[in-house]
Amino acid sequence: MNGMIESSLVDWSRAQFALTALYHWIFVPLTLGLAVVMGIMETIYYKTGKDEWRRTAKFWMKLFGINFAIGVATGIILEFQFGTNWSNYSWFVGDIFGAPLAIEGIFAFFMEATFIAVMFFGWDKVSKGFHLASTWLTGFGATMSAWWILVANAWMQNPVGMKFNPATARNEMTDFMEVAFSSTAVAKFFHTVLNGWVLGAIFVVGVSCWFLLRKRDVPFALASIKIGAIFGLISSLLVCYTGDHAGVEVARTQPMKLAAMEAYYDGVEGPGLVAIGLLNHEKEERTDGEDPFIFKIEIPQMLSLLAERRMNAFVPGINDIIDGGYRLHDNTIALSTEEKIVKGKTAISAFDTYRKAMKAKDDRVMDSTLQVINDNVAYFGYGYLEEPDDIIPDVPLVFYMFRVMVGLGFYYILFFLIVVILVFKNKIFKLRWLQYLALITIPLGYVTGMAGWVVAECGRQPWAIQDLMPVTVGISKLDTSSVRITFFIFLFLFTIILIAGIRIMLNAIKKGPEVINLNENDNY
């Protein structure tokens, strides 16, 4: 019964955090994308002096501001949940995880808050140069906020720059620079922020096409489409490049996630990458002998190239990771998950002995058990698992979401390429089907980001911190009903906020850019 209660508490705690993160992420990427778009447009205004570009920049700034305000509200609640629902996690790694979040709040957020006021209320009150700098610094502050948040998340995926202190039962930071600039953090930052740029470009093109459909503000719409489509095409290509690097990081630090992304069970040399596939849902266990696919179209040797940068490299599958015995990059032999569980339980047992010896002030026992802890602490989290198969994530979910993300990514490249060509040939305002397609593409932009986060977060389950802490250990000791009740309260409130935000955005779009008196020669 206790196990069922604990499982229910974990599920509801995860659901509540996922709900908050989902609603928050609706607003973050658009903020990142519009920040660059409005900066580009105001820069053109600064260079040309044409009021039409000022009018255009102010329109997208208005939408940026609405989106930014709602994103802040949901983000604050998200951070509070680390203390309310995940107190064990916060205690265990608060010294490390809290640092980037604190920097984000003190430096980046206050930077945004300072310059956003100048950006919105400083027109004609400060110089054009200072206002332009404020616009770019607002966007820079938003991007730096994303940097520190993603540093914290990347550390959960690949914990580095720390050491376990048995005296305090905490992991403590030993190298801030390693935490802040780990290869995982850098890869995650660029891939995630560029995804926000793509969404911002999609949004600009889609909204501008709405004006074309209505035959309103056509010069404004065409100018916005040109900026948005070029920006989107460049961003989409960069997303592919950073996605490739992110894949290498996953292969190096989270091989089980990579195996789940490919529904890849038995490792071979030179494995291919599944471009399109339908999973066999009758396959219930990893060792049941069933083919994991009903059908698939595979790109030969591409998974090997993605993971190891070699065409004929061995890439471990799910069964290999569970059973161990293959050679790692450092030329050692991989332990089986069963062996890691034993080492994890040894570390936990030695830690208990150390704490008792510390209370008894028995230095001899403390010294001997400290060595045991240090030898096995890398597998600390495995000691809380019941069986090896617990480290396998939801393979179908991760597999399909990865293909949604990648498939839409290639679609955006083609979409922006077509729009760029047609807008510069002055044909886009005649093609209503393309204008409608641009509108439909806006929600797809959000789907892509959500799919990416599902792959990143569900793909690393059961870990809250890779190899160090399972999700089941990180939760607070709360009454399940209280978490369940607050889940539905948050669902209601966030939905109301989302509906209100969409209505405010739609009203601002319908109102359109401000009306100005154009000089005879003042055009785009």
Q: How does pLDDT run across 402-420, given as a tens digit for each residue?
A: 999 999 999 999 999 999 9
Q: How far apart are CA 135 and CA 54, in angstroms?
A: 12
Report helix, strand or coil for 275: strand
> Do residues 200 and 230 lie in contact, with contact meaning Cβ atoms separated by under 8 Å?
no
pTM beyond cutoff 0.75:
yes
Tokens matching residue 482: 């209280």
Predicted pLDDT of residue 523:
57
Predicted pLDDT of residue 97:
83
- Region of poorest pLDDT, from 146-150, 183-187, 212-216, 281-285: 281-285
Q: How far apart are CA 316 and CA 326, in angstroms?
A: 8
Q: How far apart are CA 270 and CA 252, in angstroms?
A: 16
Band of the pLDDT at 155, cuts 50, 70, 90? very high
Q: Is the pLDDT of residue 275 over 60?
A: yes
Q: How far apart are CA 158 and CA 378, in angstroms?
A: 12
Residue with the larger pLDDT of the pair 497 and 112: 497
For 426-446, the pLDDT digits (tens) are 888 889 999 999 999 999 999
Q: Looking at this protein, which amino acid is placed at residue 227? A: I
Band of the pLDDT at 4, cuts 50, 70, 90? very low
DSSP assignment, residue 281?
A: T
Q: What is the dihedral of CA 491, 492, 496, 502, to 10 degrees?
A: 30
> Do residues 395 and 225 lie in contact, with contact meaning Cβ atoms separated by under 8 Å?
no
Highest mean pLDDT, choosing among 86-95, 100-109, 330-339: 330-339
> Do residues 90 and 171 lie in contact, with contact meaning Cβ atoms separated by under 8 Å?
no
Residue 93 φ/ψ region, left for φ over 0, alpha for ψ in the -120 to 50 degree band, beta for the rest: alpha
Q: In the predicted model, what is the mean pLDDT of residues 26-42?
A: 95
Q: How far apart are CA 464 and CA 470, in angstroms?
A: 5
Predicted pLDDT of residue 286:
86
Domain boundaries, the chain: 2-254+393-511, 262-323, 337-388
For 449-462, the pLDDT digits (tens) are 999 999 999 999 99
Band of the pLDDT at 93, cuts 50, 70, 90? confident
Number of other residues whose CB lies within 10 A of the CB of residue 57: 26
Tell me the pLDDT of the chain averaged across its residues: 90
Q: How far apart are CA 27 and CA 188, in angstroms?
A: 18
For 459-509, the pLDDT digits (tens) are 999 999 999 999 999 888 888 999 999 999 999 999 999 999 999 999 999
Number of other residues whose CB lies within 10 A of the CB of residue 488: 11
